[in-house]
Structure 1
Amino acid sequence: MSRSILHMLSPLKHMSPFDVNMAVDAGFDAVVPYTGVTIEDVRSLVQDAIFSRSPNDGKRTSIFIAGKNGGLALDMLDAARKAFVPPFMLNVFADPAGSFTTGAAMVAAVRKVLRHKHGTSLAGKKVAVYGGTGVVAYCAAVLVALDGGHPVLVGHDGDRRVHDISQGMKERFSVDVGHADGSNTQAREAAARGVDVILSAGPAGMNILSSTELDAVGNLLVAADVNAVPPAGLEGVGVMAGGDPFGTGKALGIGALAIGNIKYKTEFGLFRQLLATEKPITLDFRDAYKLAVEIAG
């Protein structure tokens, strides 16, 4: 059998050591990082990779797309696929800053708690997604919409950027995602009023909603927070919470470490899928969600 090779592309100055470690631990024979990569570079890099091996070795040749920009990562993934010259193809996996697998893990954890502890699903649920301009929020909102929910992106700097992001989601994935202002305490509280689920994907160490504001939501069912750095993004939701009650209502909390455990297993599992596939595959956050749901149980 030919050796497994992973080419890791990032538009940033450095490749993430986290992703390199994950790939090596997953079992790739060779892991090669490329930094400062532009979308214009992708075609030539992919074609160098596919034409240097036989078509049968495409399944043993993989491209990983890193960085910190979700839209750019998806565009680079599309550029990689367009560079194929069948039967010369390879595997492509996008997970910029680990955000695709984190967003998938977050929604999978919420899905599990809704089903197992509230006897319901995401379908029809109103979901406020804080940190709305970030990649984790982007993935989470699209996944919620694909699962039949009604997500709203809440923007820390107002609703203009999240409006544009939601329009891009509709164009790319044919989903409807709302947008709301979250630029001050009153706006963030208003965006949460009456929702069923809150997803907090804001910056580390920043409190987004206080316990008092969370209690005022009403019939909140689940609140999930990916922030592991004090103070919590959602006050009262512990980092280890895995569907634990908090506040004065019936809300259940999911913390950063519980989500992180699913995220870690999901990213590792997707690397293993690249190694095990019998034909070239392409993986993005929708594929991550399928695996995360299995892992969450």
Structure 2
Amino acid sequence: MKKLLIQLDTDKRASTFDQVVAYDAGADNLIIHSEITKEEVEDIIYGAIFTRSPKKMKNTAVFIGGSDVEKGEKIMEAVEDVFFANFRVSVMLDSNGSNTTAAASVLKVKEEIDLAGCEVLILAGTGPVGVRAAALFAMEGASVTITSRSQEKADKKAEMIKEEYDLEKIKGVEAKTDADFIKAMKNKEVILSAGPPGINFISREMWKNEDSIKVMADINAVSPAGIEGIEPPADGDTIDGIKVFGALGIGSLKMKLHKKAVAELFKTNDLSLNAVEVYKLNEKL
């Protein structure tokens, strides 16, 4: 029986990247719906759960993608609302690569430092990757600070993460100026830049003057880097005594996690893969 992956993409053109990864992960055919809205989900999922017997339902799965993470989350909720009893299929959310990127970023940092009791700073931590990475770091026992240009937004996101993931050691700070970022870096052992492409947050001179830093990572592959001095290919390189990871170094693990996650969808019909579940898949790589 063929493995069918239903790709629900919120963009006008469904992601070619996600399609290629799906085939490489073992999907036989993709059923692609672009510009998907939550109102259209029910009929599509009914077609997925009523066409194969329960024992064979694992051969159908759903992947939710697109550039808009908020829309993707709503699609995920709509999909799961259709399921009942054993009439369901496995589903994965990775809009804009946010779950796999966050998981890979934290796992790379974890290779170099024990996160239990660690002080972590996430630049642009209120975005999709930053929020998920904050939760994963905190789950490993770290104390996490997320930055935003607005104190109100930083506080709101910190509280949301704590409530959604049942965590405690997460706080938000406003950071707009060099002085703000220097203050935020004080006594931090790990810094992750999770901002959008082409925005620099801290210069090399700024981070060189903070002796507590042991590991830094930057998900941005477009110049200028979020953390000046980290090149995209960096994969555990050492700069001025600090271990660093760039976008491509993180991306190699992100790809492995993405492929593994899609492959796992076809092993059972009851998986719901979000950031935490993707993160745990590292144990199976």
TM-score range relative to shorter protein: over 0.9
Report the equivalent of 1:117.
none
Kindly provide the CA deviation profile for residues 197-243 of structure 1, in whole angstroms up to 9, marking residues without a partner as x. Answer: 00011121222111111012221110011112222221122222222
Separation in 1, partners of 2:279, 2:61 = 20
State the match for 1:203 in structure 2: 196
After TM superposition, give the deviation of residue 73 of structure 1 in Å.
3.2
Match of 2:275 among 267, 272, 285: 285
Q: Which residue of 1 aligns with 2:17?
A: 18
Corresponding residue for residue 89 of structure 2: 90
Q: Which of 210, 213, 219 pairs up with 2:212?
A: 219
Q: Distance in 1 between matches of 2:151 and 2:160?
A: 14
| 1:50 and 2:49 aligned | yes
Q: Which runs of 5+ in 1 are unaligned?
A: 115-120
**Amino acid aligned to 1:287:** E
Question: Scaled by the length of structure 1, what TM-score is found?
Answer: 0.89
Change beyond 3 A, Cα 1:97–1:252: same
| 2:243 aligned partner, one-letter code | L
* Pair 1:274-2:265 in alignment: yes
Asked whether the equivalents of residues 66 and 73 of structure 1 are also in contact (C-alpha less than 8 Å), the reply is yes
Distance 2:283 2:137 in 1: 13
Q: CA deviation at 1:278?
A: 3.8
1:73-152 matches, within 5 Å, as 73-114=72-113, 121-152=114-145
C-alpha distance in 2 between matches for 1:138 and 1:261 = 21
Q: Does 1:158 align with 2:158?
A: no
Please tell me whether the aligned partners of residues 68 and 135 of structure 1 are also in contact (alpha carbons under 8 angstroms). Answer: no
Shift of 1:72: 4.3
- State the 1:270 CA deviation: 0.9
Contact 1:54 1:88 in 2 (8 A): no
CA distance 1:227–1:14, change in 2 (3 Å): same
Asked whether the equivalents of residues 9 and 35 of structure 1 are also in contact (C-alpha less than 8 Å), the reply is: yes
Amino acid aligned to 1:134: G
SS of alignment partner, residue 20 of structure 1: helix
Letter in 2 for 1:269: K
- Secondary structure class of the residue paired with 1:209: coil
Q: For the aligned residues, what is the CA RMSD?
A: 1.8
- What SS does the aligned partner of 2:22 have? helix
Q: Classify the secondary structure of the residue corresponding to 1:113.
A: coil
Task: Choose 198-207 or 38-47, whichever is displaced more.
Answer: 38-47
Q: C-alpha distance in 1, partners of 2:220/2:88?
A: 38
Aligned-pair identity (%) = 32
